[in-house]
Amino acid sequence: MPAVIRQAKPDEAEAITDLVLRSKAHWGYSAEFMRYVGPILTVTAAYLNQHPAYVFIDDGQMLGFASLKELTPEEVELDLLFVAPEAIGQGVGRQLLAVMKEVAAAAGYQTLFIESDPYAAGFYEQMGGHLIGYRPVPAVPGRELPLYRIFLHMD
């Protein structure tokens, strides 16, 4: 069965949360940090009903997840994009981001913002993201996350 990117289903929330947390932990974050971000990164059925959200499925396995969050009628943020650790570096994130850009552009958004994990910054730069600054993390003193912008063009 070929790989497919499709809308996430509300009954997949638990599997998506598991993927997201495994992906985050892959980068060597401490158990304390993972306990802190766990609730923030938990994906619920309600979340999936309220946001454009997509999964990457290959051979029956969920290997990636991405979602968008509206900021203004013209601006949208890549709220979440995570790839299963076993699929990192295999083009899953690249394909998911391409779909999210298409979805955002088709919905009429002009600009896509991405608050990146420091470990993913190089990926977003390769994908056309322009670093526009850093966003402080209020709950973690001294931690700032790179903020990228991609202009969406409808041809």
> What pTM was computed for the model?
0.93
| Alpha-helix residue ranges (DSSP H) falling in the chain | 13-25, 31-41, 45-50, 92-106, 121-126
- The structural domain count of the chain equals 1
CATH of the domain at 13: 3.40.630.30
- Domain range for 108 is 4-151
Instruction: Report pLDDT for 142.
Output: 84
Instruction: Report pLDDT for 42.
Output: 95
Query: Would you say the C-alpha torsion 72, 82, 142, 114 has a positive or negative sign?
Result: negative
Residuewise pLDDT in 10s, the chain (155 residues): 689 999 999 999 999 999 999 999 999 998 988 888 888 899 999 999 999 999 999 999 999 999 999 999 999 999 999 999 999 999 999 999 999 999 999 999 999 999 999 999 999 999 999 999 999 987 677 889 999 999 997 55
Instruction: Report pLDDT for 9.
Output: 97
Cα(55)–Cα(150) distance, integer angstroms:
21
Instruction: Report pLDDT for 114.
Output: 97
